Every structure is written in C-alpha cells, then in structure tokens.
Amino acid sequence: MATPRFYCPDGLAANRTIELPQALAHHALRVLRLRDGAAIVLFDGRGGEYPATLRAEDKGKSASALLGAHDAREAELAGEITLLQGIAAGDKMDWIIEKTVELGVHRLVPVAARRSVPQLSGTRLEKRQQHWERVAQSASEQCGRNRIMEIAAPAGLADCLRGLDSQAGLALFCHPEAPQSLAQALRPGMQRLALLIGPEGGWSEDELELARGQGLQAVRHGARVLRTETAGMALVAAASALLGWN
C-alpha cells in the first residue's frame, strides 16, 4: 500500500513537529483510519515533500506530524501545458480537473463559453471555484504531484485569451474539421503549449473567429468527434507523448 499523502499548505519545515489542520486530521484518523505512528507524506505545493510520522492526540480528535528531511522529488512534465476548457455541465468539470492534474497540466482556465450549460456568477461562482481547487488538491495527493495545478478564475473567451501569458508558446484549439493534425502543429524543442477545448455545444462562430484572430491554430485529433470531457485529456496525453514531456 502506498504511503498516504496530504496537502498541507502552511508550516512545513524539516525536522519539526506541526499540528495538522482539523480537516486533514479528520481525514487521516477517521476516514483512512490511520493509527498513531503511521508513516505519511506532507507537501505544501511549493515543490518537494516531507516524509512524516503521524501522531494521534486527544483520543484521536486531533493529530500532529513529526516531519523528516525535505525530499526534492518532483513529478511535473518537462514542459508547461495550459488547458483552456469550456465549462462543462454537472460533474464533468470535476472529472476534467482530476484527470488534467494526473496528466500533469500546469494551469487550467475555465472558459465561460457562449454555449456552456452552467452560467456561473456571484456566490455560486466563488463556491464552484473553491470546490474545483479542492478537487485539484485531492488529485495531487493521489497521483504523486508535489505542486497544485493552478485553476484560473472563470471568464469569457476574450478575457481568457487576453490572459494568456505572452510566453505561453504555441496555442491550439481543437476542431474536428481542422486542416492539420496535432502532430503536424507541434514543434520540436518547444517548452510551453496552450490547448483550447470547447464546451458540450462547441464554440460559436464568433468564438472561433476570435480564437483565429488571436493567432490560435486549429488542430484535429483523429477521425472521430470527441466529447468535451475527452478532448482535452486526449490532446494533453498525445502532446506530452509527442513532445517527450512524460
């Protein structure tokens, strides 16, 4: 059984004892039923991790951890991928976030596209953003990453494209009728890649023109039309393999 890993954003330092946050302690002691003295791993998202020993306290109502030396191990891709994802309905967005973390995506930008089914604003948007961040943290714990994938604030396509870093490198959008394949668009030696994936209803013509006007290239991936929750995963995995970033 793999050593349980936990994201703990504050207070980590080699060879010290820290009190664990209540939610983390509850998960370790009550959900996973770890016992006093169990080996665990803690990471703060800034890189590397700390092997630690769990200490159950107050009759299992709280916990602390004795940290060992910092381990600089990383599990990041050799290059940076930004995924601009049209917001999907229901729990599809959770699934997309979980899998993009597993695949090594550096940053995910939720795009409030014209045909996105959920239209989020105000308190509902804030709560959804917090939920997505928790999904990313949990996925990092599970897959062995020591950094947390950044999730940008949802915005319309125009704002998301303006927010792309000038150093983002090659930017592509997925379209089943594109004249070139993903493999044809990728360049050897590149270090950054941005991929734009539409929502369930696809991009509107205005959005497609906007993407082209911002210099994004259309690419296809195979002879089949992929669902929004499949397209991003497929392109990320294929690009990582073609570029040797795995």
What pLDDT does 225 receive? 87
> Given pLDDT bands bounded at 50, 70 and 90, which one contains residue 117?
low
Does this model's pTM top 0.85? My answer is yes
pLDDT in tens, 46-75: 999 999 999 998 877 899 999 999 999 999
Residue 23 tokens read as: 């939610």
What pLDDT does 119 receive? 67
3-class state of residue 103 by DSSP:
helix
Ranking 71-75, 76-80, 119-123 by mean pLDDT, the lowest is 119-123
Mean predicted confidence (pLDDT) in 136-142: 97
3-class state of residue 218 by DSSP:
strand
Q: Beta 39-43 vs 17-19: how paired, if at all?
A: unpaired
What pLDDT does 120 receive? 65
Q: In sequence order, which residues have a C-beta less than 8 Å from that of residue 4 and are 6 or more positions away?
A: 28, 32, 34, 38, 40, 41
Fold held by 5-67: Ribosomal Protein L25; Chain P (2.40.240)
From 119, 118, 113, select the one nearest 203 (Cα to Cα).
Answer: 113
Residue with more model confidence, 119 or 158? 158
Contact yes or no for 6/29 (Cβ under 8 A)? no
> Given pLDDT bands bounded at 50, 70 and 90, which one contains residue 209?
very high
Residue with more model confidence, 156 or 136? 136
pLDDT in tens, 4-51: 999 999 999 999 999 999 999 999 999 999 999 999 999 999 999 999
What pLDDT does 108 receive? 97
H or E segment and range at residue 231: helix 228-243
Break the chain into its structural domains and give their ranges: 5-67, 80-243
Residue with more model confidence, 223 or 232? 232
- Residue for token pair 């070139």: 180
CATH assignment of 80-243?
A: 3.40.1280.10
Indicate the DSSP class of residue 147. B
Residue with more model confidence, 181 or 121? 181
Amino acid residing at 221: H
